[in-house]
């Protein structure tokens, strides 16, 4: 049965400035399915604590913003006040600078790794510089003809692992303080707003006096670096599904850089390491998964 999307066209979305939220039929079906599993869990938490924090996490293009917005909408329709907060407002740097910092860390660690491996010749540095200018220095295919490049890529990867999704990249303390203030019953809470440039940064006072459920939509929503989440929800996609989605979205035919693909892979690894905590796991195809089923799917 087809779903009439008109009623969802103007529903409130998350609070990330400029975030594009396009609700489709698949998002509605997933949100409805989640609501069926969520109801009992939510009733239990609210009965105990008066308020609840849900997080909707997952990788690139899995529909976090759309699904979280719909969950808040459905809860509000049932008379349970809900607000959708975007965790993407809480990195330590604006996106432009954070992207640059990720690349700086990868390249700095890579060059140091090259030196440590005894491969720091000027010839190798010149080749690395050429790849950097081409934005292909994270491409592992270079190793087949240049075995020494493995030292650069492996060290860069390790350096990036020490930054992505950590307290170095994200202000988890601020998110924790918001969750704590919400659960303690604070009626007015200032929430951060972050755009794409350094002039797009401000705070907005949000009225939580009628809100019982805080829905956080965020890749790192299930992270170990902050506390207070009652019901983590994982929207899963396999690496192949994520890649297919990104290829379909790039209508101009431009493919992601090797570095972007490395970032996505490392984020996928983080999500996998945290998946055991999820109370609800939903596949890309819209099927509820147990943790064992999730592991089986990801190990195929």
What distance in Å separates the CA atoms of residue 48 and residue 27, rounded to the nearest whole number? 30
pLDDT in tens, 112-158: 999 999 999 999 999 999 999 999 999 999 999 999 999 999 999 99
> What are residue 215's DSSP bridge partners?
54, 84
- Classify burial at 160, counting beta carbons within 10 Å of its beta carbon; exposed 0-12, middle 13-18, buried 19 or more: buried
Nearby residues of 147 by Cβ (< 8 Å), 6 or more positions away: none
* 1 pLDDT above the threshold of 60: no
Tell if the pTM clears 0.85, that is, is over it.
Answer: yes
pLDDT in tens, 19-54: 888 899 999 999 999 999 999 999 999 999 999 999
Burial letters 25-39, b for 16+ CB under 10 A, else e? eebbebbeebeebbe
What distance in Å separates the CA atoms of residue 203 and residue 199, rounded to the nearest whole number? 13
The helix/strand count (H/E) of the chain reads as 9, 8
Specify the range with the lowest mean pLDDT, choosing from 147-161, 242-256, 257-271: 242-256
Of 289, 210, 260, 269, the C-alpha closest to 33 is 289
The pair of structure tokens assigned to 92 is 């330590």
Give CA angle at 126 (122, 131), nearest 5°. 145
What distance in Å separates the CA atoms of residue 11 and residue 130, rounded to the nearest whole number? 48
* 214 pLDDT above the threshold of 50: yes
Domains of the chain: 5-90+170-298 (3.40.50.300), 95-161 (no CATH)
Assign 239 a pLDDT band (cuts: 50, 70, 90): confident
Mean pLDDT of the chain: 93
* 251 pLDDT above the threshold of 50: no
Q: Are 118 and 220 in contact (CB under 8 A)?
A: no
Of 163, 166, 195, 192, the C-alpha closest to 177 is 192
Assign 218 a pLDDT band (cuts: 50, 70, 90): very high
| pLDDT at residue 249, as a whole number | 56
* 84 pLDDT above the threshold of 60: yes
């Amino acid at each position: 049965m087809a779903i009439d999307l008109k009623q969802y066209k103007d529903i409130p979305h998350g609070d990330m400035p400029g975030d594009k939220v396009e609700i489709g039929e698949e998002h509605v079906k997933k949100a409805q399915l989640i609501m069926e599993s969520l109801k009992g869990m939510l009733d239990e938490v609210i009965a105990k604590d008066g308020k609840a924090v849900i997080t909707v996490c997952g990788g690139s293009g899995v529909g976090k913003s759309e699904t979280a917005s719909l969950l808040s909408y459905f809860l509000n329709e049932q008379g349970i006040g809900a607000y959708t907060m975007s965790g993407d407002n809480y990195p330590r740097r604006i996106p432009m600078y954070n992207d640059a910092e990720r690349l700086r860390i990868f390249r700095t660690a890579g060059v140091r790794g090259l030196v440590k491996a005894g491969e720091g010749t000027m010839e190798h540095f010149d080749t690395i510089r050429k790849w950097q200018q081409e934005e292909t220095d994270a491409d592992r295919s270079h190793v087949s003809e240049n075995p020494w490049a493995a030292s650069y890529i492996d060290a860069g990867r390790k350096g990036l692992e020490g930054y992505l999704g950590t307290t170095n990249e994200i202000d988890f303390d601020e998110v924790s303080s918001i969750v704590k203030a919400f659960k303690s019953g604070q009626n007015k809470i200032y929430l951060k707003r972050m755009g794409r440039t350094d002039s797009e940064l401000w705070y907005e006072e949000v009225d939580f006096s009628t809100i019982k459920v805080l829905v956080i939509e965020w890749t790192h929503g299930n992270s170990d670096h902050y506390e207070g989440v009652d019901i983590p929800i994982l929207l899963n996609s396999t690496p192949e599904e994520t890649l297919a989605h990104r290829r379909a979205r790039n209508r101009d035919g431009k493919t992601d850089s090797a570095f972007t693909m490395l970032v996505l892979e490392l984020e996928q690894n983080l999500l996998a390491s945290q998946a055991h905590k999820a109370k609800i796991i939903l596949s890309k195809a819209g099927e509820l998964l147990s943790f064992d089923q999730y592991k089986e799917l990801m190990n195929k």
